[in-house]
Chain A
Amino acid sequence: MAPHDIRRPFKRAAISDQQKRRELSLLRQAQNRRDAQQQARCLASSILSLQSAAPESQPEQSDTEIETVPESEQESEAFSKDLDVRQASKLRGPEVRKWFARQLMLPEWMIDVPDRLAQDWYVFARPAGKRCFVVSSNGTTVSRQRNGSILHHFPSALPAGAKIRDGSGSAQSYCILDCIFHELDQTYYVIDMVCWNGYSLYDCTAEFRFYWLNSKLEESGACNAPSHYHKFRFSAVPVYNCDSSGLYSAYTGVVPYAKDGLLFYNKHALYQTGNTPLALVWKDENCSQYVIDTDGKGEIPSQQQVVLELQDDRKLVTSDDPPVLFGCLDGDIIEKSGLHTGNLLRFAIGDGGLSFADGKLEKADLIYLGKSNRARAFADSYSKVLFQFMVRHSPLKIDDLLASINSANDQEKTPSDIEMVG
């Protein structure tokens, strides 16, 4: 039985840095776990409170809110749409991608210049970045990308966007914004407003939505610099009437973000989910880094590539409604590659290109490449294929757009001239 060692730590801190790192890691993990659980519960409880509270909570409403009762019909309609958004948060996998992709208004590509551009349209420079839905509700804000995945989960100064006990904003208040998240300055650029403080703007014209966006967003404090209860800055984008000076400003004007093309919105159009010809996107090298589509490696393929959906009768179609037929696939390939109806397939456009008759696609020279990336929810739209084709062969230039506005001006003058003479 040897003597017992009684050495004590000498001139040493009681805890090792490694132990500290371990403990801090555990702390972080516990916090993240709590956040994940809290998030799952939050989404649920907001739905619970909406579904059950709508009738029940009326007696609790304060007197001042009675004035809003006439709007309740409209509100409950908004709820039903909003509810979809939140319930969809719990869909998984491909469902979620499809669902979210369907909720955003998706502009068509500009393959010809619409009439009355100067009178009926807005134009603005699209920020480069991730298109997403930002939903604030019940003290938290979540942004979801087109494919449904969560981009951020954060507190914001949007109504109901953070847990601040100032009592303002009823439990049912919430917002849905159509945004582009711009990485470089970590800012959400709001390109459209779908719901604001419980008030639905789905059925409002773009003119009203943009007006409301510009006045309300600033007012809410969401455009302020980030702080503890407001993790990301929001910003509106400068929107112009699409006359020649407006178009020129959008095209050349200095903005705090990297541009990715121009967006054109028809002033009278409601917020319509899915593809719409009432919103258009146009790009050239001067206002976008991404004019010609790149492949998975970020390189421009020598031949244009398109993604089409395979239908029952071997037909290959676009994602448009109604779909546009691009051709038929050989039965051999279908069998050999084990393809099924509904598969999204990638093709190159061969030297034969696309040929048109009467403004309609007549023939496409398609070369089968394989199945598309699993993350894809939809085939390409007709306008996209065409725009990409034009970019490679005879692009629609900014001068063409300006010329069209000017000639329209001329035309407008012309009739009045004629009247004078008549």
Chain B
Amino acid sequence: MAMEVTQVLLHAQSIDGAVRKNAEDSLKQFQEQNLPVFLVSLSGELANEEKPVETRKLAGLVLKNALDAKEQHRKFELVQRWLSLDGNAKSQIKACLLTTLTSPVSDARSTASQVIAKVAGIELPHKQWPELIGSLLSNVHQLPAQAKQATLETLGYLCEEVSPDVIDQDQVNKILTAVVQGMSSSEGNTDVRLAATRALYNALGFAQANFSNDMERDYIMRVVCEATLSPEVRIRQAAFECLVSISSTYYEKLAPYIQDIFNITAKAVREDEEPVALQAIEFWSSICDEEIDILEEYGGDFTGDSDIPCFYFIKQALPALVPMLLETLLKQEEDQDQDEGAWNIAMAGGTCLGLVARTVGDDIVPLVVPFIEENISKPDWRQREAATYAFGSILEGPSPEKLIPLVNVALTFMLSALTKDPNSHVKDTTAWTLGRIFEFLHGSVVDSPIISQANCQQIITVLLQSMKDTPNVAEKACGALYFLAQGYEEMGPSSPLTPFFQEIVQSLLTVTHREDAGESRLRTAAYETLNEVVRCSTDETAPLVLQLVPVIMMELHNTLEGQKLSSDEREKQSELQGLLCGCLQVIIQKLGASEPTKYVFMQYADQIMGLFLRVFACRSATVHEEAMLAIGALAYATGADFAKYMPEFYRYLEMGLQNFEEYQVCAVTVGVVGDISRALEEKIVPYCDGIMTQLLKNLSSNQLHRSVKPPIFSCFGDIALAVGEYFEKYLLWAMSALQSAAELSTHIAGDDELVEYTNSLRNGILEAYSGIFQGFKNSPKTQLLIPYAPHILQFLDGIYMEKDMDDVVMKTAIGVLGDLADTLGSHAGSMIQQSVSSKDFLNECLSSEDLMIKESAEWAKLAISRAISV
């Protein structure tokens, strides 16, 4: 049997496709026939020193894949399968794996490490394999270097695989002791030290208690800092990675070490090899992230309770940190702007500088301005680019009062550089900087406008001209135009862009047709800018937006006149269709928002819908999210007439609802069902069976991303409101789904993210109840709802008593109370009177400062007073 596995595994790596296929089939067959024997023989193969290294590795890999998968549901199945596997087989497999850790063959050891971690990931949470960590660590000091390295690597993978709460503090202490000792400078073997340093990175999450102990923390920090000075570059890099991780996990413990860390990082940034220097910069970026979060929290509602205080590390380090970062800006690579994947020290330094500006605000300005002034006109392009980048970086964070005088001086210079500078890199950064100026210092938020009638024309001329430059420069120019347009949103009935509207739109369309528009995501940027220009346009330019409709339709039409395409071309085509559908969506929403333009626009509705349906037909298995979004906007604009598209559209709607993998598509489709319900009202009835069945299926699936579930509940409400008492058909199922979700969502135990999710779930449930009550109102069938009333009132009381609902839920909840009273009337009078919601909750809402809550509460009060008076 064992011999056979070796042969099959060898064949499975054959270059001959037929042989390979055959081998893969036999492996599959073997696995299906006798799983325990199959897995045991794989582990035997891995452990067997006689076997060729390739088959040992592959055996380990197949074993690993039998334990874990990317897809959640598949992973769950595999876990269950392992847990129910024969105990003897499992013992044999584990024994083989542990033996392999001492193998002289490095690939075999490494593979075994990973498989052990997978098994541990399954078993430790179930309190199985309790002896694992003990046996790994029992004789770690006596082991030969290779085995020691493999053991530390295994610990690293294990910490990555399992969550901290399944390992006792006692065992955590043992792991950390072994790992930190392995890292220390006294460890002579480089591989061991590297494995230990990488293991620590994963083990840091387990070290909460140890970081609270001054002595232990000092020790760990000393060892990590020492490792950053190791002669081996990979160890230095791994040690800095640990520092980065510590900076976010243990920010509040860093004060005693921050000066030393600054010295270490500064040296690394200036002198070390790039991978190390990048991590050193990342340490400061990460500290910025922390402090920005903390300071934002201060700005919100600072309670001073258990929140982490800000230690102002950045502010303190500022005089040394800023010069260090400015130096990095001069280390640009040629052509980095044309390389999408580029990430170098200048880019990392510039990014960090931007974060520093956001952290400290005004204080950074005097430290950067001299650098800009000194370098901005130098003959060396690196100096000009660095100066420009520095300027662009500090535009977010400092106050407009501090920045606007600088911008007023710089603007003309920038516009001239964008057209005249001989270096493309400088132009790229200049255009980007202009975009940042418009993003942060232009628009209704700023008191003294930087753009006047005088320079507006010049700005537009320069930007439109730059849109003919190289793709990366043109892309940034589009971005600048995007923010320029955005700043004029809500400026009133007349926009300064109106005189240029036609020219801007024409230039953007020309950009989309450039041969090289596929580079630097130029085409995407041009369409995004076109969208923003349309979104922010005013009534004055509505006729021009209308003219754009047939133009974009024609573009979309052209993508559909497909010859046979390669898969690569098909992907590009789909991307372009996405952009065009997105553009149409924006246009539909814009024109649909006012009656006169909507009326004229509707002449295109049939044709547009025809195009969207053809876009769907291009894809065999899945619908296009962008087309779906656009259809939602179209349904809203079309109203009841949308019914004529339903026979053809319905199958794609269903397809969208079934798309669990791309859950965004599913979520968007659920939203569109809401749009269609409101548009069609009772005309949606013929499609309700299919839609409701699919929605209920989605709710009960554990494969669907949870974020889609709240909107599904809201969608129940939309449908019920549209079809009225016809909803009776689905009432039992919908109510039972709502009821169990309501029970789950009454109490929250968890972090902020879970609180937020639970509130969105509550809101969805409540919107469903609202829609159902209002849909059934004045129908002879309202009595069908009476049995559900006690539970709903209980739910309202429950979430009121939890005291953790947000304003949106509060408003929806009190509205449901009103709807219940309004629809059930005297049938529910006494029930309502007994509920807490009808008293304390209602009073709280009536005195709320939020107008929407108050309005809903007044409605509820009126409805209740009537229900209990009759």
Q: Which residues of chain A have a CB within 8 Å of any CB of chain B?
A: 1, 3-4, 6-8, 10-11, 13, 17-18, 21-22, 24-26, 28-29, 32-33, 36-37, 40-41, 44-45, 48-49, 52, 87, 90, 92-93, 149, 152, 183, 186, 231-232
Most chain B CB neighbours (cut-off 10 Å) among A3, A13, A37: A37
Query: Closest CB-CB distance, A297 to chain B, in whole Å?
Result: 14
Given that A45-B859, A186-B595 are contacting pairs, would A149 and B640 also be in contact in the complex, using a CB cutoff of 8 Å?
yes
* Distance to closest chain A CB from B631 (angstroms): 11
With A41-B859, A92-B724 in contact, is A48–B866 under 8 Å at CB?
yes
Query: What is the CA–CA distance of A6 and B859 in the complex, to the nearest angstrom?
Result: 53
Across-interface contacts of A1 in B (CB, < 8 A): 153, 156-157, 160, 198-199, 201-202
In the bound complex, do residue B774 and residue A25 qualify as a contact, i.e. CB atoms below 8 Å apart? no
CB of B682, distance to nearest CB on chain A (Å): 6
Cβ of A11 and Cβ of B476 under 8 Å apart?
yes
Inter-chain CA distance A137–B326, complex, in Å, is: 65
Query: CA–CA, A33 to B674, complex, Å?
Result: 8
Q: Are A25 and B721 in contact (CB under 8 A)?
A: no
Q: Are A26 and B671 in contact (CB under 8 A)?
A: yes
Known: A8-B285, A37-B815, A92-B724. 18 other contacts (CB 8 A): A1-B157, A3-B275, A4-B241, A6-B279, A8-B348, A17-B527, A18-B582, A18-B625, A18-B626, A21-B626, A22-B664, A22-B668, A25-B632, A37-B770, A37-B774, A48-B862, A90-B778, A149-B640
B595 in contact with A40 (CB, 8 Å): no
A52 to B825, CA, bound (A): 14
A231→B595 contact, CB < 8 A? yes
In the assembled complex, the Cα of A232 lies from the Cα of B599 at a distance in Å of 13
Confirm or deny: B636 has a beta carbon within 8 angstroms of a beta carbon on chain A.
yes
Q: Are B275 and A29 closer than 8 Å at their CB atoms? A: no
User: Are A41 and B632 touching (Cβ within 8 A)?
Assistant: no
Residues of B within 8 A of A231 (CB): 595
A28 adjacent to B721 (CB under 8 Å): no
CB proximity of A179 to chain B, nearest CB, Å? 15
- Chain B residues contacting A10 (CB-CB under 8 Å) are 343, 347, 350-351
A-contacting residues, B220-239, CB 8 Å: 237-238
Q: Are the CB atoms of A32 and B636 closer together than 8 Å?
A: yes
- Considering only residues 773-801 of chain B, those with a C-beta below 8 Å from chain A are 774, 777-778
B68 within 8 A of A: no
B272 at the interface (CB under 8 A from A): no
Q: Say whether, besides A6-B244, A6-B282, A28 and B636 are in contact (CB < 8 Å).
A: yes
Q: Contact between A13 and B822 (Cβ–Cβ < 8 Å)? A: no
Main secondary structure, interface of A, reads helix
From 581 to 635 in chain B, residues with beta carbon under 8 angstroms from any chain A beta carbon are 582, 585-586, 589, 595-596, 599, 625-626, 629, 632-633
- Which of A6, A37, A44, A183 is B771 in contact with, Cβ under 8 Å? A37
Q: Tell me, in angstroms, the Cα distance from A32 to B682 when the chains sit together.
A: 17
* Given known A-B contacts A13-B479, A17-B528, A32-B636, A44 and B822 have beta carbons under 8 A apart: yes
Name which residue of chain A comes closest to B859, CB basis.
A41
A44 touches B636 (CB 8 A): no
A44 to B585, CA, bound (A): 35
A18 to B: closest C-beta gap in Å? 6
Task: Tell me the total A-B contact number using a CB cutoff of 8 A.
Answer: 123
Q: Is A37 touching B640 in the complex (CB atoms < 8 A)?
A: no
Q: Total interface residues on B, using CB and 8 Å? A: 77
Which residues of B from 137 to 186 have beta carbons under 8 Å from A?
Answer: 153, 156-157, 160
Partner of A22 from the list B629, B778, B859, B862 (CB cut-off 8 Å) is B629
A28–B635 CA distance with the chains assembled, in angstroms? 12
The answer to whether A32 and B675 touch across the interface, beta carbons within 8 angstroms, is: yes
Contact A17 B636 (CB under 8 A): no
| Neighbouring B residues of A40 by C-beta, 8 Å | 721, 774, 777
- Take A29-B632, A33-B678, A48-B862 as given contacts and tell me if A11 and B432 are in contact as well, using a CB distance cutoff of 8 Å: yes
Interchain CA distance A156-B819 in the complex, whole Å:
27
Report the minimum CB–CB distance from A111 to chain B (whole Å).
Answer: 35
Closest chain-A Cβ to B589's Cβ sits at a distance in Å of 7
A45 to B860, CA, bound (A): 10
Give the docked Cα–Cα distance between A152 and B640 (Å): 12
Q: Verify A232–B595 contact, CB threshold 8 A.
A: yes
Q: Is B383 an interface residue (CB 8 A)?
A: no
A361 to B34, CA, bound (A): 91
Name B332-360 residues within 8 Å CB distance of A: 343, 347-348, 350-351
Determine how close the nearest CB of chain B comes to the CB of A87; give it in whole angstroms. Answer: 8
Residue of A nearest to B670 (CB): A29
Q: Say yes or no: is B121 at the interface (Cβ < 8 Å to chain A).
A: no
Given the complex, which residues of B lie within 8 Å of A45, measured CB to CB?
859, 862-863
Q: Within the assembled complex, what's the spacing in Å between the Cα atoms of A207 and B502? A: 53
Contacts A48-B866, A186-B595; A90 near B777 (Cβ below 8 A) = yes
Q: Is the CB of A44 within 8 A of B777?
A: yes
State the Cβ distance, B747 to closest chain A Cβ, in Å. Answer: 26
Q: Is B45 an interface residue (CB 8 A)?
A: no
Let me know if B714 is at the binding interface, CB within 8 A: yes
**Separation of A7 and B278 alpha carbons in the complex (Å):** 9
Question: How far apart sit A149 and B626, CA to CA, in the bound complex (Å)?
Answer: 31
Contact A21 B585 (CB under 8 A): yes
B290 touches A (CB below 8 Å) = no
Cβ-neighbour of B714 out of A6, A13, A33, A183 (below 8 A): A33
Residues of B within 8 A of A93 (CB): 682
**Chain A residues with Cβ under 8 A from B774's Cβ?**
37, 40-41
User: How far is the CB of B829 from the nearest CB of chain A, in Å?
Assistant: 14
Among A3, A4, A41, A90: residue with most chain B CB under 10 A: A41
Chain B residues closer than 8 Å to A13, beta-carbon distance: 439, 479, 482
A-B complex: 10 closest residue pairs judged by Cβ atoms: A17-B528, A40-B774, A1-B198, A6-B282, A7-B343, A90-B778, A11-B432, A8-B351, A29-B671, A10-B347
> Smallest Cβ distance from A382 to chain B, in angstroms?
32
A155 to chain B, nearest CB (A): 13
A28–B585 alpha-carbon span in the complex (Å): 12
With the chains together, A29 CA to B721 CA distance in Å?
A: 14
Residues of B within 8 A of A7 (CB): 343
Beta-carbon contact of A17 and B866 below 8 Å: no
Q: Which residues of A contact B717 (CB under 8 A)?
A: 33
Q: A24-B589, A45-B862, A48-B866 are in contact. Are A6 and B640 (CB under 8 A)?
A: no
List of A residues within 8 angstroms of B585 by Cβ: 21, 25
CB-defined contacts of A183 to chain B, threshold 8 Å: 599
For the complex, give the distance between the alpha carbons of A298 and B347 in Å: 66
